[in-house]
A and B are shown apart, each in its own frame.
Chain A
């Protein structure tokens, strides 16, 4: 305990904990609860049964009534803590309930039926993290299909984004050619117009080339991202031209210079763009929503949204599927959080 206290009070080089430090740590504690709390609540709730999910007020942990298998009864019987007429309590299994009366038996002595008013019994519960919601959800939600689509879109879109943007960035950073300024200006001016503004006409283009209900229609249109192009170009400008000239003297082709010199040297910028692209594509919603109207092509985000819009929403299943959807991103974040946060801080983009 004293080590913890001394650890916590060892701040700012001064001997005592200043009151601003207390405010600081209080703020950080509150922030941690607010940021992680909702996600933790989601995860805890996703293990609850359908009956428990609608009980109010909600309980923190997922409980499940204990059951017991008694000879002569096919299904496991729910266990109750029963207050008997003489005031003593006993653990009994309920056989059936008729109106306000409950018929119970002692598991040790299954022949004798005890009749008790229902307010004299309390269910016996234990905390269970059951995967039932996950199993049922994956079956009824077609999770595997949506996951497959999301993974395909994310991987191929990211590869395409990296390839075409790094090529164009190389040309714009390392060559002087006619039209360079014009290309630059056009791209710069579209930086401010988001895809959501040109929804209708892009959909016309997609329909004309028959790409709706085709993952290509989700992958290709946003691959030429001006943000990524500028990020890469700015980075490539710092690579010295002498390196390129030396390679040319040695007879390297322009493509070789790009693939063997420029690309390896631009790794940090490429890494940042990779992280962004994965994040954009995995979380993308509006565009897949428009291009994909048949459910077998849905990505996870579109599928999840249509699942919650169905009649008779089964929250227990939705919660389980939501957890599965946020799991991969959370995993990547836990592994790469340092790269991600510094990457964003230095480039200032998302």
Chain B
């Protein structure tokens, strides 16, 4: 049996199994919801249907979002809200107090500003590399090549790995006596301090995130490329355009909407980077790879004196940034459409 047919038969078996389970659950629910419909009538049913989702959403997302403001405007190291004194905008003032905004050393919360500058450098580097490499890969996969499905999967495989696994794999390769230094030494050069030197650590944090996520953006771009109608290229070649002309006047403009999606998606995700870096460098060496979510995590959960107000204030500032980024995306999309 080939892997393909084995794969489809296993996945079919799995889906049949899960279907049987869901059938059982459904018949129990059948009774409950039948009774409910008799109570509230057809008009009331949509509310019943959205209720479970709304409950979970309200309790664990919407309500905490409001609580975040309370935390941000109260101080002290107490966790429960009734023990936290109101401090107004003191947390924000602390976060935003700097003699010179370009030099984190002059800031009251220097780690906050270090993490902001670190995140900005990471986001710029990571997004630029990610977009360029994904586009090149998507263009190559879009050519008429053999085994396209296989190569598409090759680039996608790391996307599925957990950030912790990715970090450990690369830590193992980049450590002082690791594979890469082994190759470098066997070529006759000196070992390089990949994880100890701040610049190298920043470089590799970007490198491994691109390695881990590029397959995802490549897939989206590939789908965009394949949705460009083939007759456009035919018409262009009849009119005497060469491949280079068609690339500039057909592929690039028609791929623009997809590229904007990729750009903004990777931007939003880069701002939120945490687990892969946390397991890879832990923010170090020093604060070289300390990024904003780790700063929030440390203040709220990991440091001995917990500054919940500072953590909440910082996360509000970050949420504001993300909202702006998303609105820009929606705006750009609308213009494109």
Interface-located stretch among B103-111, B112-120, B166-174:
B166-174
Cβ-closest chain A residue relative to B258: A348
A285 close to chain B: CB less than 8 A: yes
B122 close to chain A: CB less than 8 A: no
Contact with B along A164-176 (1 / 0, CB 8 A): 1101101110010
Interface-located stretch among B194-202, B218-226, B232-240:
B218-226
Contact B49 A258 (CB under 8 A): yes
Interface-located stretch among A62-70, A88-96, A120-128, A219-227:
A219-227
B64 close to chain A: CB less than 8 A: yes
Contact A319 B211 (CB under 8 A): no
Q: Which B residues lie within 8 Å of A305 (CB)? A: 164, 278-279
Total B residues in contact with A, Cβ cutoff 8 Å = 108
Contact with B along A328-350 (1 / 0, CB 8 A): 01101111111111001110101
A52 to B43 CA separation, bound complex (whole angstroms) = 71
B20 close to chain A: CB less than 8 A: no
A326 to B137 CA separation, bound complex (whole angstroms) = 25
Contact with A along B26-61 (1 / 0, CB 8 A): 100110011011000011011101101110110111
Q: Which of A228-286 contact B (CB under 8 A)?
A: 229, 253-256, 258-259, 263, 271, 279, 282-283, 285-286
A35 to B159 CA separation, bound complex (whole angstroms) = 10
A350 to B169 CA separation, bound complex (whole angstroms) = 22
Q: Which one of B53, B70, B261, B268 lies within 8 Å of A229 (CB-CB)?
A: B53
Contact B30 A36 (CB under 8 A): no
Contact B300 A345 (CB under 8 A): no
A-B residue pair count with CB separations less than 8 angstroms? 304
Q: Which A residues lie within 8 Å of B161 (CB)? A: 39, 283, 326, 329
Contact A175 B45 (CB under 8 A): yes
A interface secondary structure, majority:
helix
Q: Which of B284-337 contact A (CB under 8 A)?
A: 293, 296-297, 300-301, 308, 311-312, 315-316, 318-319, 322-323, 325-326
Contact B49 A325 (CB under 8 A): no
Least CB distance from A32 to B in Å reads: 5
Cβ-closest chain A residue relative to B325: A192
Q: Which B residues lie within 8 Å of A322 (CB)? A: 165, 168-169
Contact A175 B300 (CB under 8 A): no
B interface secondary structure, majority:
helix
Contact B53 A196 (CB under 8 A): no
A138 close to chain B: CB less than 8 A: no
Total A residues in contact with B, Cβ cutoff 8 Å = 106
Q: Which A residues lie within 8 Å of B50 (CB)? A: 167-168, 171-172, 183
Closest 9 CB pairs of A and B: A255-B33, A201-B67, A201-B64, A283-B162, A168-B53, A57-B182, A171-B49, A175-B46, A221-B60
A binding-site residues for B, Cβ under 8 Å: 7-8, 10-13, 20-21, 24-25, 27-28, 31-32, 34-36, 38-39, 41-42, 45, 54-58, 163-165, 167-168, 170-172, 175, 177, 180, 183, 186-187, 190-205, 207, 220-224, 226, 229, 253-256, 258-259, 263, 271, 279, 282-283, 285-286, 290, 301, 304-305, 308, 315, 318-319, 322, 325-326, 329-330, 332-341, 344-346, 348, 350
- What are 17 A-B residue pairs whose CB atoms fall within 8 Å in the complex? A8-B146, A11-B146, A56-B177, A56-B181, A171-B47, A171-B49, A187-B57, A193-B65, A200-B71, A201-B65, A201-B71, A318-B168, A326-B162, A326-B165, A333-B157, A340-B156, A345-B223
